[in-house]
Each structure stands twice: as structure tokens, then as C-alpha cells.
Amino acid sequence: MKSSFIDNLYERVAVSAQDVGLLDDTGFLLAHASGAIVRLTNARLAPFELRVRHYSVLSLVCDRDGLTQRDIAEFLGMDPSPVVSLIDTLEARGLIERRPHPVDRRAREVVATPEGHAVRERAQVDVAAARQDFLKVLPQDEQDQLLVILRHLAVAHLGQDPVDAGAPSDA
């Protein structure tokens, strides 16, 4: 049985439950929700001349100075080449800098500058406001549950190759 929330959603998009199986598809719903919060957050980050991906890199580096570009790409679930471009942009703005890695001469570690820390601190307020705008349709206990579930899913799939994720296991 569908909840009244789902019934209202079906009414808003002018379809019935029988017409659209996508509204029961986890992948579609996660992608749709992701797109919505990214749009809200990008709008809030515009005054900082940042987008969600730039903010994600900056925030990660502010929390963990010394990560390599590969570490950042893996944590964010991105290919390394777009991460290099994001880092280039942030570095050109003086928010982060690359330094020689203390152990691996081939690698560079990425660290936040004082300006990067300051921008991240100010932007965090707007990112939190975007999150609240997005989640305000849920009561607080459901917001908390959603965060726990999403964190569990993200950690479970962190660094997992999408091709390997769908492959049958030998076990």
C-alpha cells in the first residue's frame, strides 16, 4: 500500500501508480533526489563561485590535509581526471595548494590554504541551509534515518568499481 506522500507525488506528476514504475525504482529516486539537492546547493554556493563538486573537494581537503589527488578521486567516487580539473580551479583561486608528497615522489599532496579554510567555513552555512530546504518535507526523525541509511550505503560502496559491483561473487 502506498503512503499518502507517494499518492500526492503521483497526483503532482499527473500519473497513476500503474503508469510509472520508476517511482518505485531506487536508482531513479536516488538520482532524482540527488539532482534536486545538487541544484539547491549549487544555487547556495554561487556567491562563493563554487559548485557542489568544488565544495566537496575543498571540504574534504580542509578536513584531511595531505590527501593525494588519487585519494580525493577515490573518496568522491570520481575518475581522477575531472578531480585534477577541480583541484586546478581551486588552486588558481588560492583555496588549496599542491605540495610534494613526503614519501611518494611521484605524488602530490593537496592542502587547504587559510583562505580555503575561511571560504569553506562560510560556505558550510549555505550548504546546511540547502540541505534543510531539501529535507524540510521530512520530520526530523526521518531526516536522521535518511542520513544513517545514506551514510551506510556510501561507506559500503566507497571506492567500489561499478563494474565489479554488479559482478556475481564466487562465494
Q: What is the pLDDT of residues 5-48, one digit of tens each?
A: 666 665 666 555 455 677 788 898 899 999 999 999 999 999 99
How does DSSP assign 22-66, residue by residue? GGG-HHHHHHHHHHHHHHHHHHHHGGGT--HHHHHHHHHHHHSTT
For 56-69, what is each residue's pLDDT tens digit?
Answer: 999 999 999 889 99
DSSP H stretches of helix in 49-165: 52-63, 69-76, 80-92, 114-135, 140-157, 162-165
All three cell numbers of 14 = 499527473
CATH of domain 4-137: 1.10.10.10
Domain boundaries, the chain: 4-137
Global pTM value: 0.80
